Amino acid sequence: MGRKQNYLGELKYPDEPSWDPLKVAAGAMVCPHFRWICEVELEDGRMLQVYRAKETRRYIHLDEDGRLWTARRDGKFCLSYYGTRIEDAVLCPRFGERVESSYRSYDDTPF
């Protein structure tokens, strides 16, 4: 198995959030569980969107294809295994139960 590549990233704060990577990765019904925080421009030009789960306050980083990235303590980012961290982010930290949305669809979510 090849070595994971690590990339430096710079935080960016555009005026408009991007929900497309989260929709690609997990579906539109998951969006109400998250807040968009910012984006990260990697040194190779790729952009990551940063989201925080409302209930657990855990962060996820997704590229435009919905692939999951891990933020390392040294400020670098590496491609993660798909699916594991998104599921971790929406688990209730005390009981291990999934957070249920009180919204019927993403479109009527009051952000």
- Span 68-78, pLDDT tens digits: 999 999 989 99
| Four-residue CA torsion sign, 87, 90, 95, 97 | negative
Q: What is the pLDDT at residue 93?
A: 53
C-alpha–C-alpha distance, residues 41 and 78, integer Å: 13
Q: Per-residue b/e over 91-106, b at no fewer than 16 CB within 10 Å?
A: beeeeeeebebeeeeb
Condensed to tens digits (0 to 9), the pLDDT of residues 53-110 reads 998 888 999 999 999 999 999 989 999 865 556 777 666 555 445 545 443 334 444 4
Q: What is the pLDDT at residue 80?
A: 84
Q: Is the pLDDT of residue 13 over 50?
A: yes
Residue of 69, 8, 4, 60 lying closest to 35 (CA atoms) = 60
Q: What is the arithmetic mean of pLDDT over 33-62? A: 94
Q: Where are the domains of the chain?
A: 6-95
Residue of 63, 66, 34 lying closest to 51 (CA atoms) = 34
